[in-house]
Structure 1
């Protein structure tokens, strides 16, 4: 049986204003393409984006407090430094975690405080594992 990730869902406050903020951040700054939501749920307060060919990001309205833990999702980008520069120049703080060899990366929070990791997979980190 084949298994693959189909979508990731993250919260934002309800309303059109936060939907527009999501569009500016994920569509404008990050560069994802917005995708129409299915007509059967058009009444829902959702914004969907394409990630690659088959994966989606669903930004949904949530009234409950958002998580403040390390929960996050990761986007593999072709130029992690260019993305970090764009995110920083867009007014968002970025930070560097512990390094993983062959995977330069950084983290940021979106306008709704969701954590996003951006990475560029340039090599197989397993090549650098030490044998015990």
Structure 2
């Protein structure tokens, strides 16, 4: 093969029409991700983008909307217990999961019901 995959550029999550402010509250306000300005040619589609490091989270508007209950991004973090405490203080429900050997992990849902996995390798 003459091609190769290099990295994940972005992850797309869906939101219902008008969900931009709620996405900002969660992804920027609670999770602390930086909002990234969308290209002018894509602004008319709605939605909002966020970034951490070299990865972006694109929250796009989808009508009709249906949250991803099984498919999900998984984020590796440092100091997962502090993040868990922070999320609980911000009224974000956590679903504990100890089925992955070598990982401390849990699941949360974004404001639209999309599943998100958070893990720290032990």
Q: How does 1:1-132 map to 2 (within 5 A)?
A: 1-15=4-18, 18-52=19-53, 54-67=54-67, 69-122=69-122
The structure richer in strand per residue is 2
Q: Residue 130 of structure 1 corresponds to which residue in structure 2?
A: none
Q: Tell me the equivalent position of 1:128.
A: none
Aligned length: 119
- The TM-score normalised by the length of structure 1 is 0.82
Q: Could you tell me how far 1:47 is from its partner in structure 2? A: 0.4
Q: TM-score, normalised by structure 2?
A: 0.88
Residue 63 of structure 2: SS of its match in structure 1?
coil
**CA contact under 8 A between 2:69 and 2:114: conserved in structure 1?**
no
Do the aligned partners of 2:47 and 2:61 also contact (CA within 8 Å) in 1? yes
Pick the structure with greater CA Rg.
Answer: 1
> Is the partner of 2:92 in helix, strand or coil?
coil
Greater relative contact order, per chain length (Cα 8 Å cut-off, separation 6+): 2
